[in-house]
Amino acid sequence: MIEFEGTLELGGFYRDGEATRRSFRPWLVDQAAVRPYDGLPNGDIQCFTDAPDLSQWRLGATPDDVDARLRWIAVRTATSRLLISDRVLMVYVSWQDLADAGYVSGTDVDIDGIRYTCRLLDGGNDFEVAEDGFSGAASTTNEWDQIVCNGAGIETLPTPTESDVGRSIGDAVLEDQHNQLWNWVGVNSWVAQPFMHRDTARCCRGFSSANFFYLNTFDHRHEDIGWRPVLEQKLA
C-alpha cells in the first residue's frame, strides 16, 4: 500500500553556489523543433548547457527566497518514504550525464541536515504497443504508473482524466488538477530503466500525455527532456 503524505517545500537547486529560481513555466524552453500545442509560451526550466558540468549544480539547503524553494510530493511505501519533485528541474541534460553523477541509480545528498538517496523514478522499459507512446508502458507496476498516474489508487492523489491520457493536449489539460500537481505537460522526465530492445535507448515519460512513454539516446541533450529527482529515505 502506498500512502500520500502531502506536498512540501524543501531544499533548493543551486548553480555555482547560488539558489536558482523555481520554474514557473515548467516545460520545454525552446519550441523550434517540437511544440506541445499551439499557443504555449516557452518554458523557463534551468538548462544544463548553461553550465555543462554537474559539479556546478547541486541540491542543497532550503533557501530564504520562497521562489527558489523546491516542491515535492511525499508518499510512503512499505519500504521507503519518497519525495518526488513536482516538476523537472533541468533540461538539456542527458541520461548519461545523470548516470555519471549517480543520479540514475542513486547517490547521497544532504538537505537541511537530513541525508537522502537521490535517484530517478522507475518508469518502465518498453511500449505497451510498439512505437506508440500514447499506449504507455508495457508494465504498469513501475513508479511512474503507480504513483504519478495513480495506478495504485492512492487516496487523495489525483488520477489522470481521459483528457490527461488522450492524444492531444491544450490549456485545459495544462490547468487540470493532475498536471498542476505533477507538471508533466510539455516536458519529458528521464526514468531509470534502459529501453529493453535497444542498447543506446533510454526511457522517459510525460510531455504529450500523463502516461506517455518515449525514448531517446542515452547521451543526447534535448530541450524537451530533463531531470526530475526523487529523494528516498529507507524505513527502518
pLDDT in tens, 58-68: 999 999 999 99
Contacts 24+ apart (CB under 8 A), 176-182: 178/210, 179/210, 181/7, 181/73, 181/86, 181/157, 182/73, 182/86, 182/87, 182/148, 182/210
Kindly report whether the global pTM for this prediction surpasses the value 0.95. Answer: yes
Pairing of strands 114-119, 132-137: unpaired
Which residue reads 488522450 in cell numbers? 166
User: Are 232 and 106 within 8 A, CB to CB?
Assistant: yes
User: Are 70 and 11 within 8 A, CB to CB?
Assistant: yes
Max Cα-Cα span within the chain: 49
pLDDT at 122: 98
Q: What are phi and psi of 178, to 5 degrees?
A: -65, -50
pLDDT at 236: 76
User: Are 219 and 94 within 8 A, CB to CB?
Assistant: yes
For residue 28, the SS3 value is: coil
Closest CA to 73 of 88, 83, 59: 83
Percentage of the chain with pLDDT > 90? 99
Distance CA(99)–CA(194), nearest Å, equals 11
| 51 grid coordinates | 553550465
Give pLDDT < 70 ranges for the chain: none
Please tell me what DSSP assigns to residue 234.
E
pLDDT at 197: 96
Closest CA to 105 of 120, 116, 83, 127: 120
User: Are 192 and 43 within 8 A, CB to CB?
Assistant: no
| 158 grid coordinates | 489525483
